[in-house]
Amino acid sequence: MKDPVEGGWSRGETFEEFLSRRGVSRREFLTFCGRMAACFAAAAALPGGSHALAEEMAQKLSGARRPSVIYLQLQECTGCLESLLRSGSSPIDRLVLEQVSLDYNELLMAPSGSAAEEVLREAAAKPHLLLVNGSVPLGYDGACCTIGGDSAANILRRAAQKADAIMAVGACAEYGCVQAASPNLTGAVGVSDVITDRPVVNISGCPPIAETITATLTYYLAYGHPPPLDGMGRPLFAYGQRIHDKCPRRASFDAGQFAERFDDENARRGHCLYRLGCKGPATFAPCATLEWNLGQSFPIKAGHPCLGCTERHFYDRMTPFYRRLPGFVVPGLGVEATANTIGAAAVVASVGGVMVHSAATVIAKKRAKKAQPETLPLAVLGDKEKPEEEGDKRA
């Protein structure tokens, strides 16, 4: 394919017209649609197979009109956008990106200063698609993240007013990610906590796989509505699959072969990283199927345990990252005890308690026996009720 010539996807032009003008062949377009369809079908398991889906999508996508997109970057690290830029796995992706680009985006746009503000105002006044990176800090009246003198929350609300759809890209935009982890000093929240009256598509991950972002966009462009979502507002096609179930190391998990350290023999053999704290069994993401950076690899394949970054509050809940279970600090000892240590201690304490108690029972019985005379006073022998007297009598 030739390098893209100048001239973006102009308004009024269909996507197909635009693509052919840009020198994309029908075959390349269908290949892209097929890949996206395969991506959607991965979890949705739609009937008819991905081929029919690809046809349908090609049909719909061909007729799509160029959307205006505002891509906000709030309290975040730009990692998500970095990831999205690496979606260049095929020219089509690049084109989609170029075209879905971007009336406004802090990182990639040419204008700056009041010119940039002007662009945002104009774009927000028209129907558009809103993508958000980064969390919204609500603490200190939003002073922790301001752009052009206004707080992130205000910018988001304004941009969302006329948006056709809102997509929260990345864990920050979903719920706040690292900055929302305990103790959450800036009061960071996700987009859906600020925009409560509209559905928000959460494209989860820290960062999300680029293809997940483009696929969601593609779906929206093709169908005009967001894809089916799971309970956390994440597109099911991507987040309906558990990493553990499609993991290339699953066989060694089933066989009970685990790497104990990063440098042991089993690690070199590529055995399961479960004992090294892999959170794959608790993480729903397409990493194991799509993989990262043009399908090159993903953490588990590369020998690093999954951190579970697509799950909510993973900094609070998936830590310690390199341990299978959270431990807790025993007060006073300063030792991090695991559940098993505490449990075993409880069992030892219970067995010890039983032993002490049975010993005490034996002692108490002995004492009771000693305290009690061998025979009680007998009235028929003239004894009084008091045992001392009986003792005297006997003597």
Partner 1 sequence: MSLYQIPESEIRIELGDPVPFAGRKRRDLLIAAALGAPFGTADPVDLALLSAASKKEDLRHYEQTGFTPLEPQLARSVARVRRVDSGEEALIARGEVDTILYLCHPDEATRYRAELQAEMQMTHGFRALGVGRGSIAADGTERWEFLGYIPVRATRQKSRRSEEPRDFYYVPVWDWQLRVLHWLSVLLIVILSLTGLLMGSSRFVYGVTDGYSNYLSWLRLTHFVAGWLLLCAAILRIAGLFLASNRFQRWYALFPVRLRDLKNLLQVAQNYLFCRFDRPPHYIGHNPLQQVAYTAIFGVGLLALFTGFALYALYSPDNWFFGYLVRFDNLVGVQYLRLAHQLIMWIFLAFIPIHVYLSVRADTVEREGALSSIVSGGRWCRKGTRFEDADAIDD
Give the C-alpha separation, 314 to 305, whole Å.
14
Q: Which of 358, 386, 391, 392 binds partner 1 (CB under 8 A)?
A: 358
What is the pattern of x (binds partner 1, CB under 8 A) and - over residues 212-231? ------------------xx
What dihedral do alpha carbons 128, 189, 79, 204 form, nearest 10°? -80
Cα-only R_g, the chain: 33
Q: Is 174 among the residues that bind partner 1 (CB under 8 A)?
A: no
Query: Contact, 344 vs 317, CB < 8 A?
Result: no
Q: Is 368 among the residues that bind partner 1 (CB under 8 A)?
A: yes
Give whichever of 109 and 282 is closer to partner 1, judged by the CB atom. 282
Shortest Cβ 366–partner 1 spacing (Å): 8
- Under rule CB under 8 A, how many of the chain's residues touch partner 1? 61
In the chain, which ranges are E strands? 69-73, 104-105, 128-133, 136-137, 146-147, 150-151, 163-169, 188-189, 200-203, 328-330, 335-337
Q: Is 361 among the residues that bind partner 1 (CB under 8 A)?
A: yes
Residues 101-120 that bind partner 1 (CB under 8 A): none
Q: State both tokens at 379.
A: 């009235």
Q: Is 375 among the residues that bind partner 1 (CB under 8 A)?
A: yes
Give the C-alpha separation, 391 to 384, whole Å.
11
Give whichever of 44 and 145 is closer to partner 1, judged by the CB atom. 44
Shortest Cβ 267–partner 1 spacing (Å): 14
What is the pattern of x (binds partner 1, CB under 8 A) and - over residues 243-272? --x-----x-xxxxxx-x------------
Give the C-alpha separation, 265 to 321, whole Å.
21
Give the C-alpha separation, 3 to 242, whole Å.
38
Q: Is 343 among the residues that bind partner 1 (CB under 8 A)?
A: yes
Is residue 76 classed as helix, strand or coil in its secondary structure? Answer: coil
Residues 297-336 that bind partner 1 (CB under 8 A): 308, 311-313, 316-318, 324-326
Is residue 49 classed as helix, strand or coil in its secondary structure? Answer: helix
Q: Is 353 among the residues that bind partner 1 (CB under 8 A)?
A: yes
Is residue 229 classed as helix, strand or coil in its secondary structure? Answer: strand
Shortest Cβ 250–partner 1 spacing (Å): 10
Query: Using CB under 8 A as the criterion, which residues of the chain lie in contact with partner 1 when the complex forms?
Result: 230-232, 240, 242, 245, 251, 253-258, 260, 274-275, 279, 281-282, 284, 308, 311-313, 316-318, 324-326, 339-340, 342-344, 346-347, 349-351, 353-354, 357-358, 360-361, 364-365, 368-369, 372, 374-382, 394
